[in-house]
Amino acid sequence: MAEATVRAKAVRAGIRLELVTVAWMAVEAGLAIWAGIAARSVLLTAFGADSLIELLSGATLLWRLRTEASGGDVERLEAVERRAVWVSAVLLIVLCLYVLVSAGAGLILRVEPRESWLGIAISAAAVVVMPLLAWRKRLANRAIDSSALRADIAETVTCAYLAGTTLLGVLINALTGFWWIEYLAAFALLFWLVREAREALEAAHEGRADDND
């Protein structure tokens, strides 16, 4: 009974954290993409697009936790969750291709991104917020012990690294005018995006194997 109470409390905490995550990702994605388009910044646009993908993941996990909290059919939700992982994996692969092609073309054609103080502000905020969210989610998952939540925590940590890389590139451009730094940072961003895509594909394949068992 005590263990069930602790788990129920952790699930409620997880729901609150995912609500914060979904709300944050919606704001982060909107502002980053808008700032990226305004500044012609591949780096900021890619950061915003990744936030949209993480918004999808967070919304799916929020649905799953709410279903468990209400005593619903968690197995059905886990099937939906596995399909959402496939969608995320495909979107991440497309995002990797976008960054590779756009950053390469921008360097060759010398498309100079303009400074974006909005982009600096949103990426700096993410550098602070994402590690805090990941820490609180780890605390909740000690009782929940959810592989889906562990994957979400990994995505939150990755978002912090993406934000740090984005912040560095956009800030250097704003302070020095070295516009090409943003493209180098975009290529560095690929390191995290490719790893995220690979992990999503592996999770999707594991989910398919579980379905076939």
CA–CA dist 151, 157 (Å, integer): 10
Residue 202 has, within 13 A of its CA and on its CB side, a CA count of 7
- In angstroms, what CA-CA distances link 77 with 95, 168, 188? 26, 39, 35
Q: What is the reported pLDDT for 210?
A: 54
Q: Which domain holds residue 107?
A: 2-212
What's the structural domain count of the chain? 1
Residue 136 has, within 13 A of its CA and on its CB side, a CA count of 16
Residue 150 has, within 13 A of its CA and on its CB side, a CA count of 8
| 56-84 mean pLDDT | 77
CATH of the domain at 169: 1.20.1510
Has residue 212 got a pLDDT over 70?
A: no
The larger pLDDT score, comparing residue 201 to residue 167, is at: 167
Q: What is the reported pLDDT for 131?
A: 95
DSSP class of residue 132?
Answer: H
DSSP class of residue 179?
Answer: T
Q: Hey, which of 49-58, 86-95, 126-135, 151-160 has the most confident mean pLDDT?
A: 126-135
Q: What is the reported pLDDT for 60?
A: 83
The larger pLDDT score, comparing residue 31 to residue 200, is at: 31
Has residue 3 got a pLDDT over 90?
A: no
CA–CA dist 120, 159 (Å, integer): 15
The larger pLDDT score, comparing residue 68 to residue 26, is at: 26
- Average pLDDT over the chain, rounded to whole? 87
Has residue 152 got a pLDDT over 90?
A: no
Confidence class for position 199, pLDDT limits 50, 70, 90: confident
Residue listed under structure tokens 């605390």: 139
Has residue 186 got a pLDDT over 80?
A: yes
Phi/psi-derived region of residue 177, left when phi > 0, alpha when psi is between -120 and 50, beta in every other case: left
Has residue 74 got a pLDDT over 70?
A: no
| 61-71 mean pLDDT | 81
- Of all residues in the chain, what percent carry a pLDDT higher than 70? 93
Has residue 13 got a pLDDT over 80?
A: yes
3-class SS of residue 166: helix
Q: What is the reported pLDDT for 203?
A: 76
